Structure 1
Amino acid sequence: MTWSITAGIAVQSGMLHMPPDLAGTWIPEIWSAQTIEDLEASLILASPTVTNRAYEGSFAHAGDTIRIPHFLADPTIQTTGEAYGEIGEADKLGVDALTMRIDQWRSWHFEVDSLHQLRTAAGINYMESALREYAKATAASMDKHVALTIVDAITAKDRNNGGATLHGFIKAFPAPDATSLYDTLVDMRTQLDIDNVPTSGRYILLGPREYAIILKDERFIDASKYGAGSVVVNGEVGRILGMPVLVSNTVGAHLGETTPNKKFVRKPHDGAKGIHVIVGHNMAISFAGQLSELEPYRPEKKFTDAVKARFIFGTKVIRPEAMVIAGTLVNA
């Protein structure tokens, strides 16, 4: 009898039964690594390109609050410093802190019957495939929460703090059309320049229809033409105005359209409905999350293998001036 470990579980002859010497045991590193990898690969608005992960690992439990310190005084730069000369009094720096609550939970729970695995074509692992699908669905749910956080910040609301007034707002530009998209991108980039947002780390996120317009613009540089040795952001399709261009169906004018349901086609979430384009830097939004629990088990009265998991996370607009959007949403 030959056993192997597939997707973190002991498999024999294409079935999911555990052998006696492995009963009650599992390999959490394999399951967790696969789940996190599939989750990260599916994130768009919650990805490291759009949100920063500077405070990940700074919490242990759901309900924790992360304090993000910042100085309250502007630096005084003096023109003195000659030999034996005196300089002015020291600046007395005050320190305040923004708070980000880890206030979101996402969980899932499923089981796979051994008969289903037995009747499945060789080379296909039901449990592994299901794990990937649940990771993708979890990523979509997390992305939607980030989208709603951005939408709230357009009207200066802080979703992470129960809708209280945010310390600023994300500036909104009118929705562009085929003739004005490039000029709108120029205006959005200019706004980031005015607000001293670093040029390194900026990005453009377009919906599919907006991307189709840019493809017809000779000023767009396709990623396939970069040449060897070029650094490419994950998911980058090209560059325009010196910024990497990313494409996602989680933003764009199409979210306002009514489309029929299609078998096997999962519709994107509509959390960012009204946002057609985002130009920003990941310093704008902080995201911290972790897979807090992943537990496989065999239900006592069934011939099934089951797994349940729970994610905890929080996200907050920290630097609203570091992101601008264009669409049908307007500032309050």
Structure 2
Amino acid sequence: MTVATFIPEVWNAAIKEPYEKALVFGQPNVASNAWMGQITGVGDTVNISALSSPTIRDYDRTQDITVEDVSTTVTKLSIDQGKYFAFRVNDVDKVQAAGDFQGPATKAAGIALRDAADTYLAGVLKDGAKSSNKLGTLQVVNDDPAKAGTGQTTAFKTLVLLAEKLNAQSVPTAGRYVVVGPKTYSALLMDPRFTRVDASGNEDGLRNGIVGKAVGFDVLVSNNVPSTSGRELAIAGVPDAFAFASQLVETEALRDQHRFGDLVRGLNVYGAAVARPEGIATADLNIVDAAAPAAG
């Protein structure tokens, strides 16, 4: 690759592919991406409108029907995040290299941008969940569920409790997801209710971020879940509750004025907003060993 042969569209596509494939919290199974094409840079604002539900009334054929105006609630999605990459390819390295710089460089850029975006999105979800949908801190046993001691619960039961929170808010069951951290996933694997195909309803095996299905959730695992003092936050919800917009707005190459080489740099801008807090539920999970049995 040289500055003369640099094609921004090709590099954008090469960066976006690993970026979008690797996203967990920003993928369509978790976030609505309907506004992806409506942003051009940091500072943009996307207005997300939601109509109120009409009142359901008893019908009386002898009475005139009541007509009401539905109201609109607007959630502002601010494009207030920007991350860039910039690297140099020295002319000497290009001559000596046996392979292509573009493939590894673009893949690495996409993955790095993904991690920054996913960490940000997880934080927005954590803060945006309705307060009554937050389970608080639970002690989850990382062992056979039968070994859970006093004050301990299982990762599988945590999923049941998260589903209960969403059910209490009349959140649709279609498209539900839960994102867990690696330690929580390990605890889930200890439970046959999760690992049995007939119990989980998942015949596809492990794939990408989705690692199974349980209690009506697509179960995803991510290293970017919010973590506090070793605890992992499990985040459950539906895509309609959360909006994400991202755009790779600048990718360019230029000659380095101070060295013999090319510079490549790119800028990714994005933002997110919780449009329906009742559609998100969280649990702060402390993954622990089984409690020792009481002395007989």
Percent identity, aligned pairs only, is 28
Could you report, residue by residue, the CA deviation over 1:186-221 in whole angstroms, capped at 9, with x for unpaired residues? Answer: 111011111111111111222112111211211114
Structure 2 counterparts to residues 63-78 of structure 1, below 5 A: 63-72=43-52, 74-78=54-58
Matched with 2:31 is 51
Q: Does 1:41 align with 2:7?
A: no
1:212 and 2:186 matched: yes
SS in 1 for 2:192: coil
Preserved contact between residue 205 and residue 211 of structure 2 (Cα < 8 Å): no
| Residue 245 (structure 1) aligned with residue 219 (structure 2) | yes
Q: How many residues align?
A: 272
Contact 1:210 1:252 in 2 (8 A): no
**Aligned counterpart for 2:279 among listed residues 296, 306, 322:** 322
Counterpart in the other structure of 1:143: 118
Q: Equivalent residue for 1:309?
A: 266
1:94 aligns with 2:68: no
> In the alignment, is the contact (CA less than 8 A) between 2:243 and 2:275 conserved in 1?
yes
Aligned pairs for 1:1-332 within 5 A: 9=1, 18=2, 24-72=4-52, 74-80=54-60, 87-120=64-97, 122=98, 124-153=99-128, 168-169=130-131, 171-173=133-135, 174-178=137-141, 179=148, 180=153, 181-221=155-195, 226-227=202-203, 234-251=208-225, 256-257=229-230, 274-300=231-257, 302-327=259-284
TM score, norm. by length of structure 2:
0.80
* Distance in 1 separating the partners of 2:164 and 2:271: 30
* Counterpart AA for 1:29: E
Shift of 1:61: 3.4
Cα distance in structure 2, aligned partners of 1:310 and 1:237:
31
Go from structure 1 to structure 2 and tell me whether the alpha carbon gap of 1:182 and 1:73 turns closer, same or farther (over 3 Å shift).
closer
Uncovered stretches (5+) of structure 1, i.e. residues with no partner:
1-8, 10-17, 155-167, 258-273
User: What amino acid is the match of 2:274?
Assistant: V
* Alignment-mate amino acid for residue 246 of structure 1: L
In structure 2, the residue matched to 1:267 is none
Q: Which amino acid aligns with 1:90?
A: V
Measured in 2, the distance between the counterparts of 1:58 and 1:26 equals: 26
Against the structure 1 CA distance between its residues 328 and 217, is the aligned structure 2 distance closer, same or farther, given a 3 Å change threshold?
A: closer
Considering Cα pairs closer than 8 Å and 6+ residues apart, tell me whether 1 or 2 has the greater RCO. 2
**In the alignment, what sits opposite 1:14?**
none
AA of the residue aligned to 1:256: S
Pairwise CA distance, 1:26: 2.8
- Measured in 2, the distance between the counterparts of 1:99 and 1:71 equals 15
Q: 1:48 aligns to what SS in structure 2? A: coil
Instruction: Report if the CA contact (8 A) 1:112-1:127 is conserved.
Output: no
Alpha-carbon distance in structure 2 between the residues aligned to 1:239 and 1:225? 6
Letter in 2 for 1:45: F
- Tell me the C-alpha RMSD between the 2 structures: 2.9
**Distance in structure 1 (CA, Å) of the matches to 2:285 and 2:209:** 26
Distance 2:42 2:226 in 1: 32
Cα shift at 1:112 = 0.8
| Partners of 1:66 and 1:99 within 8 A in 2 | yes
Q: Distance in 2 between matches of 1:187 and 1:68?
A: 30
Task: Report deviation, 1:119.
Answer: 3.2
Q: Is the 2:18–2:111 contact (alpha carbons within 8 Å) kept by the matching residues of 1?
A: yes
